Homo-oligomer: A and B are copies of this chain.
Amino acid sequence: MTEHRPSQAELAAFLQAEFPQNRCTLEELDADGSVVVAHPVGESELRPGGTVSGPVMMTLADVALYIAILARIGIVPLAVTTNLSINFLRKPRADRRVIARCRLMKLGKSLAVGEVWIFSEGEDEPVAHATGTYAVPPKR
């Protein structure tokens, strides 16, 4: 593939322009193609029991996977999720951001598959793990 690989700044700008209501931020873009995305945690992310809501972590996983794919194939907004599966492992901290690290397992002609580990910022043990598949546009 000869696409332009976007820079971290380009991906961050795309994320903010196209998903203004989404509060995820791109924190890292590594040479191996893995990405780190963060989501703030405040009142609106917490649910009864003082834990971060599942949908916040699912959103974070989905966005991390999307950005990891765009980092490799170029900014083609038509990639769409076909499947996402998440396991919730531990209660996240209520006073820290949640951080997702995503790495692609496969980048094929029509499907990309990645895995995402989610942590409370600064903690060692993951709070969730997701895998997801995106359909990528055929002509690229």
**Taking beta carbons and an 8 Å cutoff, which residues of A are in contact with B?**
18-19, 21-22, 43-44, 47-49, 51, 53-55, 58-59, 62-63, 77-78, 80-90, 105-106, 110-111, 113, 115, 126, 129, 131, 133, 135
Contact = CB atoms under 8 A, between A and B. Distances in A.
Contacts of A48: 18, 77-78
29 contacts: A18-B47, A19-B53, A21-B44, A48-B78, A51-B80, A54-B62, A54-B80, A54-B84, A55-B59, A58-B58, A58-B59, A58-B84, A80-B88, A82-B87, A82-B88, A82-B133, A83-B86, A84-B85, A84-B86, A85-B85, A85-B131, A87-B105, A87-B131, A87-B133, A89-B105, A113-B129, A115-B129, A129-B131, A131-B131
Contacts of A53: 19, 22
Contacts of A113: 87, 89, 129
A19 to B, nearest CB: 6
Given A77-B48, A87-B83, A126 B105 contact: yes
Contact of A90 (B44, B83, B106, B115): B106
A58 B62 contact: yes
Which 5 A-B residue pairs are closest in the complex by CB-CB distance?
Answer: A55-B59, A85-B85, A48-B77, A21-B44, A58-B58
A89 to B, nearest CB: 4
